[in-house]
């Protein structure tokens, strides 16, 4: 039995999924995580390291890694790539000034060998703000249609109202499940 | 009050005034219960965080010990190595040490500085031991062919945590690109000695930018969704409640009177903050900044506070995280509180 098969079998048993949540600082990663977990979101500080949460959802055990996105922390992102099943890229849809920066960071991540098999979910966050760009425009600005190497989807959402968080998470789980956990 | 006893003692009387009092008390009890729950939850989260930190520290020290032992084993193994394999063997050990060094540098941010220091010292010792061993096993001959020896010099330099940290901040600084302000719906830029006012119709719900201002005063009577303050010198900025973040970057000698959910300060010096913030503010590559509580007010500010939902009662203005200061037992030299007597209590309207 090859290593891959063994890994597959192991994961299958526990139905464990590892999700890595990245994005520029202030995108709303920690807020999404806490909102999804039903925690208070009014007192969240910028992340100076990382948060890990293990959540049970639809019979899956989700290990969600939320790593700080400030510029000086981005070189540490690669420490968290290993065995990532799904990458959640969070965008601050109201921050038009840094969309270019956001695009570059995303595309360079997708070149990473260790993320090669991962499913990509892009959350166009902060849709509740009147000044935010709709997900369609984010999709263009980030040139998502260029991505051929990963399964991806973009989903407009709001961590403050909770809108569409479930939709996105369910999609990424389904996509990962169809790859990793064989139906038997 | 004399009649409080009565309220407790007469549960089934239906006198309206009493019922009202009962309600108030139940209310109060409920609120207390809620507060208690919130407090418990907070404690739980704090505990979780603490154990997370402990976990990463534990993981680090066991991984470090393991790698270190492997290297020490290899050093003992030198005695069995034949002359022809010696160079490669030492190269391998040097590479292992370099990798360990990288692991320590990468972990620097998540670990107490003491742990880092200990690890760093252990690596330095290892390097010395390897150098000595190599000199012993491969004494430098006068006439070796230079080309035969691979360059292993790199592993001999010691890398300290400070250098690693410096690297981080240099990266941040170099990559600091101030892109075009044209993309922002609302911004004020490139002004000298001016007074600018923005009102709610211009800023509410939008990301607002203030860029490259000198000797100027900006008053924002409203609630931007976020405020980006870049490259200001000798300026004063006043802003109403921001439900999201305020970014401050490359400001010198400014007074910023602002309220927000998060404050993110980078590359800033000699600046005073009169601050309302509902989470821990962070500073990075920043020196001589001072903090005091928010003291600005304008007509309509109450309404703005309630519209944004920014908690007015919670203000952690004096709880600042310095990204460049890892020690938790000593206060960062980069920020301080403005003594009460020196605080400005009222500003021009
Ligand atoms: N209006 C609105 N604000 C949001 C939303 N999500 C997050 N925010 C705000 O954006 C700010 C940043 O949120 P965080 O969750 O700390 O962002 P982050 O991506 O974790 O940032 P780093 O930890 O620095 O990487 C906070 O003030 C949040 O309240 C959203 O959907 N809508
Ligand atoms: Mg965060």
Same domain (yes/no): B212, B74: no
Tell me: do B128 and B224 sit in the same domain.
Answer: no
Q: Which domain holds residue B260?
A: 167-342
In a domain, B154, yes or no: no
Q: Are residues B175 and B318 in the same domain?
A: yes
> Is the model more confident about A99 or about B124?
A99
Q: Contact A120/A151 with Cβ under 8 angstroms?
A: yes
Yes or no, beta carbons of A94 and B207 under 8 Å apart: yes
Strand-pairing partners, residue B252, are: B233, B269
Is residue B158 domain-resident? no
The verdict on a CB contact (< 8 Å) between B110 and A50 is yes
In chain B, the number of structural domains is: 2
- At residue A92, what are phi and psi to the nearest 5 degrees? -85, 100
What three-state secondary structure class fits B135?
Answer: helix
- Evaluate whether residue B259 is within a structural domain: yes
Each residue's pLDDT tens digit in chain A (184 positions)? 455 555 555 555 568 899 999 999 999 999 999 999 999 999 999 998 888 888 999 989 999 999 999 988 898 888 888 889 999 999 999 999 999 999 999 999 999 999 998 999 999 999 999 999 999 999 999 999 999 999 999 999 999 999 999 999 999 999 998 887 754 3
CA-to-CA distance for A79 and B60, rounded, in angstroms?
Answer: 13
pTM exceeding the 0.90 threshold for the entire prediction: no
Alpha carbon of A79: minimum distance to chain B alpha carbons (Å):
8
Same domain, yes or no: B189 and B259: yes
**CATH number, position B333:** 2.160.20.70
B267 close to B289: Cβ distance less than 8 angstroms: no
- DSSP 3-state of A126: coil
**B183 and B314 both lie in a single domain:** yes
The ligand that comes nearest to the alpha carbon of residue A165 is 1
Residues of chain A found within 8 Å of residue B206, distances taken between Cβ atoms: 94, 129-131
**Model confidence at B256, in pLDDT bands (50, 70, 90)?**
very high
What pLDDT does residue A80 have?
86
B117 and B250, same domain (yes or no): no
Query: What are the CA-CA distances from residue A41 to residues A29, B272, B313 (Å)?
Result: 11, 28, 16
What average pLDDT does range B125-154 have in this prediction? Answer: 61
Give pLDDT tens digits for B33-91.
777 777 787 777 777 766 666 677 778 888 888 899 999 888 888 888 888 888 888 88
Q: Which residue in B has a C-alpha nearest to residue A93's C-alpha?
A: B207
Indicate whether B26 and B85 sit together in one domain.
Answer: yes
Specify the pLDDT at position B3.
37
- Sort out which chain A residues have CB atoms less than 8 A from B281's CB and list them: 45
In the prediction, which pLDDT does B329 show? 75
Atom of ligand 1 nearest to the CA of B244: 27
Q: Is A148 on the interface with B (CB under 8 A)?
A: no
pLDDT of amino acid B165: 39
Domain contains B2:
no
Ligand that lies nearest to the alpha carbon of residue B245, given by its number in the listed order: 1
> What part of B 245-274 touches A (C-beta under 8 Å)?
245, 247, 261-262, 264
B135 touches A at CB < 8 Å: no
* Residue B295 in domain: yes
A-interface mutation test, from B54, B200, B225, most A Cβ less than 10 A away = B225
Residue B263 to chain A, least CA–CA distance (Å): 8
Q: In a 3-state reduction of DSSP, which class is residue B308?
A: helix
Element (H, E) at B218: strand B217-221
Residues with CB under 6 A from ligand 1: A 23, 25-31, 44, 46-47, 68-70, 90, 125-126, 128-129, 158-160; B 225, 244-245, 261-262
Same domain, B75 and B203: no
In this prediction, residue B7 carries a pLDDT of 37
Q: Where are the alpha helices (DSSP H) in B247-332?
A: 301-308
- The answer to whether A65 touches A19, Cβ cutoff 8 Å, is yes
Q: Are residues B298 and B237 in the same domain?
A: yes
- Give the gap in angstroms from C-alpha A48 to the nearest C-alpha of chain B: 8
User: Does B59 map to a domain?
Assistant: yes
Task: List the 72-91 stretch of A: residues with Cβ below 8 A of B.
Answer: 72-73, 75-76, 79
Respond yes or no: is residue A127 known to be catalytic. Answer: no
Q: Tell me the backbone φ, ψ of residue B53, rounded to 5 degrees.
A: -60, -45
B201 touches chain A (CB under 8 A): no
Check residue B9 and give its pLDDT.
Answer: 34
Judged by average pLDDT, the poorest of A68-77, B165-174, B288-297, B322-331 is B165-174
- CA-closest residue to ligand 1 atom 13: A28
- Boundary of a domain, candidates B137, B157, B184: B137
pLDDT at site B144 = 38
The per-residue DSSP string of B57-116 comes to HHHHHHHHHHHHHHHHHHHHHGGG--GGGHHHHHHHHHHHHHHHHHHHHHHGGGS-HHHH
B121 lies in a domain? yes
Q: How many helices (H) and strands (E) would you count in chain B?
A: 7, 12
B7 in any annotated domain? no
Contacts of B309 in chain A (CB under 8 A): 42
Quote the pLDDT of residue B143.
39
Other residues' Cβ atoms within 10 Å of the Cβ of residue A59: 8
B302 and B188, same domain (yes or no): yes
pLDDT given at position A5: 55
Question: Which among A48, A72, A131 has the least Cβ separation from residue B205?
Answer: A131
Confidence of residue B158 (pLDDT cuts 50, 70, 90): very low
A129 vs B205, B261, B311: nearest CB = B205
What average pLDDT does the structure give for chain B?
Answer: 80
Whether residue B121 is found in the same domain as residue B236? no
pLDDT digits (tens, 9 = 90+) for B191-219: 999 999 999 999 999 999 999 999 999 99
**Strands of chain A, DSSP E:** 16-22, 50-57, 60-67, 86-92, 119-125, 152-156
Lowest mean pLDDT among A48-62, B262-276, B303-317: A48-62
From the list B106, B183, B309, the residue facing A97 with the nearest CB is B183
**B260 and B319, same domain (yes or no):** yes
Q: How confident is the model at residue B155 (pLDDT cuts 50, 70, 90)?
A: very low
Which of A108-112, B180-184, B335-339 has the weakest average pLDDT?
B180-184
**Statement: residue B96 has pLDDT above 80:** yes
- Partners of A126 on chain B (C-beta within 8 Å) are 225
Atom of ligand 1 nearest to the CA of A69: 25
| CATH number of the domain where residue B49 is located | 1.20.58.1250
Q: Can you tell me the ipTM of this complex? A: 0.89
């Amino acid at each position: 039995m090859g290593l891959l098969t063994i890994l597959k079998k192991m994961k299958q048993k526990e139905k464990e999924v590892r999700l890595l949540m990245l994005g520029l600082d202030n995108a709303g990663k920690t807020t999404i995580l806490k909102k999804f977990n039903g925690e208070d979101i009014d007192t969240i500080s910028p992340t100076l390291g990382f948060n890990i949460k293990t959540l049970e959802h639809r019979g899956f055990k989700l290990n969600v890694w939320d790593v700080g996105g400030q510029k000086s922390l981005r070189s540490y992102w690669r420490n968290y790539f290993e065995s990532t099943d799904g990458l959640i890229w969070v965008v601050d849809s109201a921050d038009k000034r840094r969309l270019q920066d956001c695009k570059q960071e995303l595309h360079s991540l997708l070149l990473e060998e260790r993320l090669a098999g991962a499913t990509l979910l892009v959350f166009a966050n902060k849709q509740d703000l009147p000044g935010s760009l709709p997900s369609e425009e984010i999709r263009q600005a980030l040139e998502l249609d260029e991505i051929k190497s990963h399964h991806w989807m973009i989903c407009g959402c709001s961590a403050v109202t909770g809108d569409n968080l479930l939709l996105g998470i369910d999609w990424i789980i389904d996509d990962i499940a169809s790859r990793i956990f064989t139906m038997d | 009050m004399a009649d409080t006893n009565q309220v407790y003692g007469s549960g089934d009387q239906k006198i309206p005034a009493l019922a009202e009092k009962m309600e108030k008390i139940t209310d109060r009890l409920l609120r207390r219960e809620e507060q208690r729950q919130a407090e418990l939850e907070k404690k739980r989260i704090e505990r979780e965080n603490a154990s997370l930190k402990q976990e990463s520290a534990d993981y680090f020290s066991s991984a470090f010990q393991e790698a270190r032992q492997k290297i020490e084993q290899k050093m003992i193994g030198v005695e069995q190595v034949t002359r022809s394999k010696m160079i490669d063997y030492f190269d391998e050990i040097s590479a292992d040490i370099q990798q360990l060094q990288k692991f320590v540098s990468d972990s620097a941010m998540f670990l107490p500085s003491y742990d880092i220091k200990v690890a760093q010292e252990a690596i330095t010792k290892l390097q010395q031991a390897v150098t000595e061993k190599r000199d012993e096993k491969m004494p430098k001959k006068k006439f070796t062919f230079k080309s035969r020896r691979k360059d292993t010099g790199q592993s001999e330099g010691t890398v300290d945590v400070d250098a690693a940290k410096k690297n981080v901040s240099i990266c941040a600084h170099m990559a600091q690109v101030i892109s075009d302000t044209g993309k922002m719906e609302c911004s004020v830029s490139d002004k000298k000695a001016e007074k600018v006012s923005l009102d709610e119709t211009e800023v509410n719900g939008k990301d607002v930018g203030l860029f490259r201002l000198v000797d100027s005063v900006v008053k924002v009577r409203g609630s931007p969704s976020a405020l980006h303050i870049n490259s200001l010198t000798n300026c004063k900025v006043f802003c109403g409640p921001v439900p999201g973040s305020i970014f401050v970057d490359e400001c010198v000698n400014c007074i910023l009177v602002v309220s927000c959910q998060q404050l993110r300060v980078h590359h800033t010096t000699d600046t005073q903050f009169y601050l309302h913030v509902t989470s821990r503010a962070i500073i990075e590559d920043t020196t001589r900044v001072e903090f005091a509580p928010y003291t600005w007010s304008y007509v309509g500010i109450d309404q703005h506070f309630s519209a944004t939902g920014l908690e007015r009662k919670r203000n952690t203005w004096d709880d600042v995280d310095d990204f460049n200061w890892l020690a938790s037992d000593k206060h960062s030299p980069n920020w301080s509180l403005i003594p009460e007597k020196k605080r400005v209590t009222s500003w021009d309207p």
